[in-house]
Structure 1
Amino acid sequence: MSYRAVIDQTVYRFSTLAELMAKATPQRSGDELAGIAADGPIERLAAQMALADLPLRAFLEQQLIDGEHDDVSELIARQHDPDAFSPVASLTVGAFREWLLSSSVGQTELEAVTYGLTPEMVAAVSKIMRVKDLIAVAAKRRVVTRFRNTLGLPGRLSLRNQPNHPTDDSFGIALSAVDGLMMGSGDAVIGVNPATDGLADYMRIVTLLDDLRQRLSIPTQTCCLGHVSVALRAMEKRAPVDLVFQSVAGSQKANDGFGVSLEMLREAQDAALSLNRGTIGRNVMYFETGQGSALSSDGHFSVDQQTMEARAYAVARAFDPFMVNTVVGFIGPEYLFNGKQIIRAGLEDHFCGKLLGLPMGVDVCYTNHCDADQEDMDTLLTLLCAAGVNFVITVPGADDIMLNYQSLSHHDGIFARETLGLRPAPEFEAWMVDVGLADEAGRLRDHMPPALIEAMRTSADAAA
C-alpha cells in the first residue's frame, strides 16, 4: 500500500507507513542522520497532507515494527481497547486533531479514549499540530499519581531535586539536596543519578536520601537512578527503595541496549510494591525516555525518532508509574540539533505521553555542544507550564556537575511557580509552610528562620 499527496501538480508518493510518518515529522537532525527524513519542507508538507487523510484505523491494520519479533509491538497490540477507541474510530488523523482541539473535548473525554489510542496514533496527530495545538490539548489532560505526596493536580508544578555528584560523595549529595529543598525543589522526588552503578553505592545513596527525608520529615519520595537490576538486588536486601528507576525505549532491541526486558520491569514493580513504603499511593516506578535512544542503539527499524519515543510510553504505562520524563535534549545535537528542535520535541513528548495516560515531566536540558542556550530552556519551561506539565528537573545553577549537561536551576523552578501562579504538591507545600520555608500562601520566604537553616545543615551532615 502506498500513500500520496499532490502539491502544484506534483505527485508525492510514500511507499510505506513508516516512510510516511518519518517524512511528515517536523525537521530534526536524528531522522536526517538515519536517512529517513523528508528532502525538504515541500516533501514534508506533502507527507503531512497524506498523513492527515489517513484513517486512524490504519494503525491497527499495520504494525510499524513486526510484533512477532518485538515485545513492545506485541504490548501495544495487547493494550489497545476497542471500546475506548470507538469515539474516534471513524476519524482520520486530521479529523482527530480537530476532535482533540474541540471545546467539547476535555479531561473526561480524553481519559476515556486513553487505551483506545496507540502510540503511533498520537505520534501521527502530533506531526500535523503546531506548538500551540500541542499545548492546548495537553493542558486539558491531567494524570495524577501518588506515593507520599500527590503529583499532577491542576495549578501545581512539582520539581525533581537532582543532587548529583561526580564521585557520589555522601556529603556532597546531602548538601546539594538541602540546597534544592531550601528553594522548594524536591516534591516530585529527590533523585540521584549515580556516577557508578554498583550495589554498595546504590544502597548507600538510597539510605542517605531516606535518612535525610526522615530527619526533616519531608512528605516526598527518593530514588537512586541506578539500573533496575541493581535495584532488584537492593530490594532483596530490604534497602529503603521508594521508586524504581529505569530508562526505556520503543522497541525490544533498543531496550536490550538498556539491558532490560518487560519481565524484569514487572519483577521490579512487584518487589517495590512488596516493600509497601508509600503512604498515600502505590505508584512505584520512575521511567526516563528521550528521542534518539532507539536510533543510538540501532533499534529504530527505520521508524522516526519521535514515533519511537511515543512507543516507549506504551512500555511505561504498562507499569502504572509515579513519574515519567523525557530527557529531551540530553542525547545531543546528533538527534535534536538546536533549541528550536528541542523545544518542539519537548512539547511533542509531553503531549503524546499525556494522551497515553502518563504522568509526564520533562528534563528541560541540552548538551554543551548543542546549538541551544538557557533562553531556549526558559522558553520550553514556560510553554510546558502552560501545557500542564507534572514536573521538571532542577539542579544547582542549571549545571549538572556529574552528567555534564545544562538543565534548569532551582531558581528557574521558583520563577515558574511565582510568575505563573503554580504551587508545589499539596503535601509538600504544607510541609514548607510548617517548617518556615514558605508563608501561608505557599510563597518562599525571603529569609528563613535560623533554626531551620541549622536543622537542614545538621540533617545533611548527619545523613552523610
Structure 2
Amino acid sequence: MSSYVHRVGHRTYQFRDLKDLMAKATPARSGDYLAGLAAASAEERVAAQMALAALPLDTFLSEALVPYEQDEVTRLIIDSHDAAAFAPIAHLTVGDFRNWLLSDAADTAQLARTAPGITPEMAAAVCKLMRIQDLILVAKKCSVVTRFRNTIGLPGRMSTRLQPNHPTDDASGIAASLLDGLLYGSGDAVIGINPATDNLPQVIKIVTMLDEIIARYGIPTQSCVLTHVTNTIAAIERGAPVDLVFQSIAGTEQANAGFGINLALLAEAQQAALSLRRGTVGDNVMYFETGQGSALSANAHHGVDQQTCEARAYAVARRFQPLLVNSVVGFIGPEYLYDGRQIIRAGLEDHFCAKLLGLPMGCDVCYTNHAEADQDDMDVLLTLLGTAGCTFVMGIPGSDDIMLNYQTTSFHDALYARRALGLQPAPEFAAWLKEMEIFTRDDYVTLGKALPPAFQPALLRLQ
C-alpha cells in the first residue's frame, strides 16, 4: 500500500494509504466525522483533493480499498472489470477523468460504452473533485433504459414509485392511497409497498392484491412488496404473482451479511423471478435500495468513507441488471448526513456515480424529523435531480410516510417536477393515463374535478 503526500504552502500533508486519501478528499459529512475518517480542516481536504486529482485512474485496479481475499464485492468489482471499455480512459488521472467527463468527447454514446470499464472507486474518486453543477451535467448525459411492463429512463421522462404504505397494511387504506397517486400520474416506476408486517402470508396477500388491480385496469406498470429477498423467493415458490424482487444492498460483503444476503442469494432470487416470465416489454426484475452510511452503521465499512462504500454497492446492483435502483439518501439520519446541505450533495453524488456505472438510478428525496433539514431542502434536491435526469422519485400522500415515519416527496411534488422541467412518465404509462382520461394533454393531469369517466368504475371497484 502506498502513502500519498501533497504540499499546500509551507505545510505538507501525508495520507497513509488510498483509503485515507479518499476519505480526506470527501466533502464534509457527519458520518465520516463519526467514523474518524474526515479531513481535520478545509485545507487538508483541498490537499487531499489535489493529491487525488493527480492519481492515475488505473491505481484503483491494483490497490483495493477492501481486501480482495476478504470481500466478495471487491472480487466482483475486479473480476468483472471490462478492460476493453476502460482502455480509452486508462491513461488518465482522476483529475483528467473529471475533465474528460465534462468535455464534449464524453457524449451519451461514449459514456455508455465506457461504463463497464469504470469501477465504483473510480466513480467515487472523480465525484469528490466535482461541484454540484458538474455532477448534474455529467449525469444528464448518461442514458440508462430498463424495461419490465414499461420503458423506464428515456430522455425527457421522469418516473415515480407510488408508495401506498399503511401502518396496518389495511387493504382499503392502501387502495385509497394508490388511487390518489394514479390520479396525479404517479406509479410508472413501480407500485411499491413497505409491508407493516414481514410475514410471508401478508406479503403474498399484498402482492396478490396489487396484481389484481394492475391486471383489472390494464395498468402498464409493475408491483413490488419491499420484503426481504428470502420472503420473495418463498412467495414465488408458493405461486405468488411477483413482478420485482426487492432488496437493500450495501458496498461490502460484511454489510450485506448484516442484511442477510450475499451475491449467490441475489442470483437465486433473480432466476426465480425470471422464471415467472411476467414482464411484457423486458426482463429487468430486480429493485435495489441503497444509502450512504449503511455500511458504517453496521460497522462494516473497513475504514472506507461512506460515499465510496455507497458507490461500491452499485457494483452489486449492476451485476443483476435491475429495473430500478434508488438511494434513500436522508433516511438513515443526521448521524450520517447532518443537514439539508449534506443531503443535497449526497443525493446528487449517488445519482451521478450510479448513472456513470450504467444503473437506472432514482432517489428517495427524504429526511428524518431529527435532521437539520426541511421540505425546502427537498424541493431543491428534487429540482436538481430532475434537471440531472434522475430515473425516478417517490410519491407518497402528503410527503409524509405514516408507516415509516419520515418525510419524502408527494404525488404533487412529482407533478411539480414534471411540469416545471417538461418531463413525462414512461411512454406506455402516459398513454394509459390518457386512455383513462387522467391526462387530458401530454403535460396535464385532471385535478380538482369529478373523476374522469373512464376511471369512475375503477374507483368503485377499489372501494
Q: TM-score range by the shorter chain?
A: over 0.9
Answer whether contact 2:137 2:388 (CA < 8 A) is retained. Answer: yes
Answer whether contact 2:326 2:362 (CA < 8 A) is retained. Answer: yes
Secondary structure of residue in 2 paired with 1:330: coil
Secondary structure of residue in 2 paired with 1:315: helix
Q: How does 1:225-244 map to 2 (within 5 A)?
A: 225-244=226-245
> For this pair of structures, how many residues does the alignment match?
461
Whole-angstrom distance in 2 between the partners of 1:296 and 1:157: 31
Answer whether contact 1:119 1:310 (CA < 8 A) is retained. Answer: yes
Q: Which residue of 1 aligns with 2:258?
A: 257
Structure 1 residue 46 corresponds to structure 2 residue 34? no
Q: Which residue of 1 aligns with 2:457?
A: 455
Amino acid at match of 2:330: G
Q: Which residue of 2 aligns with 1:328?
A: 329
Q: Which residue of 2 aligns with 1:411?
A: 412
Per the TM alignment, residue 118 of structure 1 is displaced from its structure 2 partner at its CA by 0.5
Secondary structure of residue in 2 paired with 1:54: coil
Answer whether contact 1:221 1:242 (CA < 8 A) is retained. Answer: yes
Q: Which residue of 2 aligns with 1:349?
A: 350
Whole-angstrom distance in 2 between the partners of 1:62 and 1:52: 16
Whole-angstrom distance in 2 between the partners of 1:238 and 1:442: 39
Q: Which residue of 1 aligns with 2:114?
A: 113
Structure 1 residue 145 corresponds to structure 2 residue 146? yes
Structure 1 residue 314 corresponds to structure 2 residue 315? yes
Whole-angstrom distance in 1 between the partners of 2:365 and 2:36: 27
C-alpha change, 1:83 and 1:372, in structure 2 (3 Å) is same
Whole-angstrom distance in 2 between the partners of 1:140 and 1:422: 16
Q: Which residue of 2 aligns with 1:82?
A: 83
Q: Which residue of 2 aligns with 1:370?
A: 371
Whole-angstrom distance in 2 between the partners of 1:420 and 1:85: 34
Whole-angstrom distance in 1 between the partners of 2:102 and 2:218: 43
Whole-angstrom distance in 2 between the partners of 1:101 and 1:240: 44
Deviates further, 170-179 or 330-339: 170-179
Q: Which residue of 2 aligns with 1:286?
A: 287
Amino acid at match of 1:460: L
Amino acid at match of 1:121: M
Whole-angstrom distance in 1 between the partners of 2:456 and 2:114: 51
Question: For residues 320-374 of structure 1, what are the alpha-carbon distances to aligned partners after superposition, in whole Å with 9 as ceiling and x for unaligned?
Answer: 0000000000000000000000000000000000011100000000000000000
Q: Which residue of 2 aligns with 1:155?
A: 156
Answer whether contact 1:147 1:280 (CA < 8 A) is retained. Answer: yes
Secondary structure of residue in 2 paired with 1:112: helix
Secondary structure of residue in 2 paired with 1:294: helix
Per the TM alignment, residue 311 of structure 1 is displaced from its structure 2 partner at its CA by 0.2
Whole-angstrom distance in 2 between the partners of 1:451 and 1:333: 46
Whole-angstrom distance in 2 between the partners of 1:384 and 1:74: 32
Whole-angstrom distance in 2 between the partners of 1:445 and 1:397: 18
Q: Which residue of 2 aligns with 1:222?
A: 223
Whole-angstrom distance in 2 between the partners of 1:34 and 1:448: 55
Answer whether contact 2:419 2:443 (CA < 8 A) is retained. Answer: no
Deviates further, 450-459 or 56-65: 450-459
Structure 1 residue 399 corresponds to structure 2 residue 413? no
Question: For residues 168-222 of structure 1, what are the alpha-carbon distances to aligned partners after superposition, in whole Å with 9 as ceiling and x for unaligned?
Answer: 1111111111111111110000000111111001001101111111122100000
Amino acid at match of 2:462: A
Per the TM alignment, residue 448 of structure 1 is displaced from its structure 2 partner at its CA by 4.8
Whole-angstrom distance in 1 between the partners of 2:32 and 2:245: 31
Answer whether contact 2:436 2:455 (CA < 8 A) is retained. Answer: no
TM-score normalized by the length of structure 1: 0.98
Q: Which residue of 2 aligns with 1:438?
A: 439
The gaps in structure 2 that reach 5 residues or longer are none
Q: How does 1:26-105 map to 2 (within 5 A)?
A: 26-105=27-106
Answer whether contact 2:183 2:446 (CA < 8 A) is retained. Answer: no
Secondary structure of residue in 1 paired with 2:235: helix
Answer whether contact 1:212 1:459 (CA < 8 A) is retained. Answer: no
Secondary structure of residue in 2 paired with 1:382: helix
Answer whether contact 1:144 1:153 (CA < 8 A) is retained. Answer: yes
Per the TM alignment, residue 227 of structure 1 is displaced from its structure 2 partner at its CA by 0.3
Whole-angstrom distance in 2 between the partners of 1:41 and 1:223: 44
Whole-angstrom distance in 2 between the partners of 1:264 and 1:192: 22
Deviates further, 268-277 or 168-177: 168-177
Whole-angstrom distance in 2 between the partners of 1:122 and 1:305: 14
Secondary structure of residue in 2 paired with 1:223: strand
Per the TM alignment, residue 437 of structure 1 is displaced from its structure 2 partner at its CA by 0.2
Amino acid at match of 1:320: Q
Answer whether contact 2:438 2:452 (CA < 8 A) is retained. Answer: no
Answer whether contact 2:162 2:190 (CA < 8 A) is retained. Answer: yes
Q: Which residue of 2 aligns with 1:360?
A: 361
Whole-angstrom distance in 2 between the partners of 1:366 and 1:25: 21
What percentage of residue pairs aligned between the two structures are identical? 60
Per the TM alignment, residue 453 of structure 1 is displaced from its structure 2 partner at its CA by 4.9
- RMSD over aligned CA atoms reads 0.9
Q: Which residue of 1 aligns with 2:166?
A: 165
Secondary structure of residue in 2 paired with 1:287: strand
Q: Which residue of 1 aligns with 2:11?
A: 10
Secondary structure of residue in 1 paired with 2:445: coil
Secondary structure of residue in 2 paired with 1:361: strand
Question: For residues 229-280 of structure 1, what are the alpha-carbon distances to aligned partners after superposition, in whole Å with 9 as ceiling and x for unaligned?
Answer: 0000000011010000000000010001100110010000000000000000
